[in-house]
Structure 1
Amino acid sequence: METFKQSARRLATFAMAALVLSAGASAAETWRFATKMPPDSPEGKVFQFFADRARELSDGDMDVQVYPSEQLGKEAAVLEQLELGTINIYAEDAFFLQKWVPDIKWIAPPFLFQSREEWVAYTNSDLARSWFQQAEEIAGVRPLGEPMAVVRGPYRVLISKAPVKGYEDIRDITLRMYPDELAISVWKHLGAELAMLAWTETYQGLQSGLANAVTSPAALVESMGFYEQAPYITRTNEFWQGLPFMMNAAAFDALPEKDQKALLRAHEEAGAYSAELMEENASKMRAELEARGVTFTDMPLDPLFAEMETWYAEHDAAGALPAGMLAAAEAAKAAK
């Protein structure tokens, strides 16, 4: 029996197709693009770049309107609208797809890939692609182009009050943590004490001593000001992050081929722009913070990743990992 959501999605598909057929040649197709990020953030600039290029490449046919800073609602509301087609694109970490595909929480496994190239190869494995396929089958949403082309991060760091020169030093920190079972399990395995704090409470937590360390994308280190309370920064490559442009599949399929190609090319160019912009911002951030007395430490990563092999082996033996995940990871590493 067809569910209410499936019926609504089917009717929305018919409506979108009818609008495309009835629209005049001179009328632009308006797409609503939802994001959590402010427009002046690095990611906000990438999203607007995409919107501008989509209009240019489609000769004005595609009018992608970016709604920053959760203007269209919090994540739960946005996902409902994305499924129904009243929002056309939502760009955020793929973790939000757990609403429909629980296994996709393993799309960015912590301390499994030392390089971004290995991780991207893993996200293109048959296993990872099957998760995106499930999202389309269940909710009618799929990624535009290469899912991880748009870069977030560009890498992960540990910000701490004392230097972390080796993974053994993790046993001496009290780490700000968030309510995620996977992250909690990993950092407990590495020996950290954990302090549950909201992201917006983290600065005060560092200041008061509730925590003496926090993990973060490199791009957010300066804007959040954590370095003022914890002046040591260590690159960890904890996990890699991308921003899939998850779109309403029916809306895309209803477009003329010319406009589909315009969106795909705009997305590809936005990915290249994001990689350049994020790396530039990370380099600039390091130079500026070092000038303010912040110390960047280089922790050997091989021992850390070797230690995590035990964690993965134990979880795989217990059936806690998706079937074939470690095999997909090893194949990705071998390919790179």
Structure 2
Amino acid sequence: MKMEMFVKCANRTLLAATAVLALGTGFASAETWRFATKMPADSPEGLVFQYFADRVGEYSEGDLTVQVYPSEQLGKEDAILEQLELGTVNLYAEDAFFLQKWVPEIKWIAPHFLFQSREEWVEFTNSDLVAGWFAKAEDAAGVRALGDPMAVVRGPYRVLISKVPIESYEDIAGIKLRMYPDELAISVWKSLGADLQMLAWTETYQALQTGVAEAVTSPAALVQAMKFYEQAPYITRTNEYWQGLPFMMNAAAFDGLPEKDQAALLKAHEEAGAYSVELMAQNSNEMRAILEDQGVTFTDMPLEPLFEHMADWYRELDAQGELPEGFLDVALAKRAE
């Protein structure tokens, strides 16, 4: 373990030194950052990522270029995380859940069916508890969030896309649900009785088409872009959890940039956050009417019984000592504010 930590620290030091040397030899003007994403370039999130990249080029006066690689072109998540830590990928924008690789507690950053509003959840993510989780990720892997971690909005709310209508949370029992490798999500949906199918996001359409999966959870803003509704024509709003997209970066690469380019990244990120709020709201407002015209059925499942059911689930976990220390107290305090 000590040798592993030494190697990691040495790698980060080498990256920082390389960046400084590049600046000293005049290569800064040719700096290009590789930005890896899962989402298609023409999806709402893909548009936000390109907006960010364009603003960086503008505000750095061409000294820093951000090249966006959509649709997992640089590899699946595990491969990207290795590249991010090593510095061969500079930016990765995705739910903070992936930081569990280095900080197990961060699986609780967007708790399922606990916050009824985004505002309550954002207050929670700004707490000292959550800030400490991000600090641990930087200490462990040399990765750091650019700007406000939750400034870029995903969603703006969650839905369940299914082959059959879901009219109450009891209907979830037995459904073959596409799932991703997140322990909390797995525990939550198992507690609701779903039959989980572990699939990559980019494999989900085919899984719905072939019957390997019967349902998938998704941000509302990605419903049209991913076209899952073509195979699963029922959509139910769940407000499962609220989402932001931290732009996680290699900290050594950022620290090695000139101050003006650091400022360009921060300003571009702030503006991309504002753009995402506008774009996601517009997209979700238009999405329902468009898809209903194509034969998609939207069902309004009563949410209060589901949230009450899950509140009991969280209390049981807390009583068993399975929640991070102070987590439930902080979360409930933010709900009460």
**1:229-249 deviations in whole A, cap 9, x for unaligned?**
443321001112221111111
Match of 2:23 in 1: 20
Please, which moves more after superposition, 9-18 or 174-183? 174-183
Aligned 8 A contact 2:143 2:251 in 1: yes
SS at match of 2:313: helix
TM-superposed deviation, 1:268: 0.5
Please, which moves more after superposition, 159-168 or 38-47? 159-168
Residues 135 and 288 (structure 1 numbering): CA distance in 2 closer, same or farther, change over 3 Å?
Answer: same
Aligned 8 A contact 1:57 1:266 in 2: yes
Instruction: Provide the C-alpha distance between the structure 1 equivalents of 2:24 and 2:301, rounded to a whole number of angstroms.
Output: 58
SS at match of 2:78: helix
Match of 2:46 in 1: 44
Match of 1:117 in 2: 119
Match of 1:3 in 2: 6
Aligned 8 A contact 1:58 1:258 in 2: yes
Aligned 8 A contact 1:176 1:202 in 2: no
Instruction: Tell whether 2:108 aligns with 1:106.
Output: yes
Instruction: Tell whether 2:161 aligns with 1:156.
Output: no
Instruction: Provide the C-alpha distance between the structure 2 equivalents of 1:120 and 1:316, rounded to a whole number of angstroms.
Output: 22
The 5 A counterparts of 1:94-243 are: 94-171=96-173, 174-178=175-179, 179-190=181-192, 192-196=193-197, 198=199, 199=201, 202-203=204-205, 206=208, 212-243=214-245
Which amino acid in 1 is paired with 2:320?
A
Instruction: Provide the C-alpha distance between the structure 1 equivalents of 2:164 and 2:40, rounded to a whole number of angstroms.
Output: 32
Which amino acid in 1 is paired with 2:238?
T
TM-superposed deviation, 1:209: 5.7
Please, which moves more after superposition, 54-63 or 101-110? 54-63
Which amino acid in 2 is paired with 1:287?
A
Instruction: Provide the C-alpha distance between the structure 2 equivalents of 1:42 and 1:197, rounded to a whole number of angstroms.
Output: 25
Residues 87 and 201 (structure 1 numbering): CA distance in 2 closer, same or farther, change over 3 Å?
Answer: closer
**1:27-74 deviations in whole A, cap 9, x for unaligned?**
243222222223222222111111110111122222222222333333
Residues 207 and 263 (structure 1 numbering): CA distance in 2 closer, same or farther, change over 3 Å?
Answer: closer
TM-superposed deviation, 1:197: 5.1
Instruction: Provide the C-alpha distance between the structure 2 equivalents of 1:56 and 1:207, rounded to a whole number of angstroms.
Output: 43
**1:229-282 deviations in whole A, cap 9, x for unaligned?**
443321001112221111111222222222222211100100111121122222
SS at match of 1:105: helix
Residues 300 and 88 (structure 1 numbering): CA distance in 2 closer, same or farther, change over 3 Å?
Answer: same
Instruction: Provide the C-alpha distance between the structure 2 equivalents of 1:218 and 1:225, rounded to a whole number of angstroms.
Output: 12
Match of 2:304 in 1: 302
Residues 194 and 16 (structure 1 numbering): CA distance in 2 closer, same or farther, change over 3 Å?
Answer: same
Which amino acid in 2 is paired with 1:267?
H
Aligned 8 A contact 2:16 2:255 in 1: no
Identity of aligned residues (%): 69
The 5 A counterparts of 1:278-293 are: 278-293=280-295
Residues 322 and 67 (structure 1 numbering): CA distance in 2 closer, same or farther, change over 3 Å?
Answer: same
Q: Give the TM-score, by structure 2 length.
A: 0.89
Please, which moves more after superposition, 231-240 or 304-313? 231-240
Which amino acid in 1 is paired with 2:92?
Y
Aligned 8 A contact 1:164 1:234 in 2: yes
Aligned 8 A contact 1:177 1:184 in 2: no
Please, which moves more after superposition, 15-24 or 146-155? 15-24
Aligned 8 A contact 2:158 2:219 in 1: yes
Which amino acid in 2 is paired with 1:282?
S
Instruction: Provide the C-alpha distance between the structure 1 equivalents of 2:332 and 2:58, rounded to a whole number of angstroms.
Output: 41
Aligned 8 A contact 1:149 1:242 in 2: yes
Instruction: Provide the C-alpha distance between the structure 2 equivalents of 1:48 and 1:201, rounded to a whole number of angstroms.
Output: 24
Instruction: Provide the C-alpha distance between the structure 1 equivalents of 2:24 and 2:203, rounded to a whole number of angstroms.
Output: 50
Which amino acid in 2 is paired with 1:154?
P
TM-superposed deviation, 1:5: 2.2
Residues 210 and 71 (structure 1 numbering): CA distance in 2 closer, same or farther, change over 3 Å?
Answer: closer
TM-superposed deviation, 1:16: 0.8
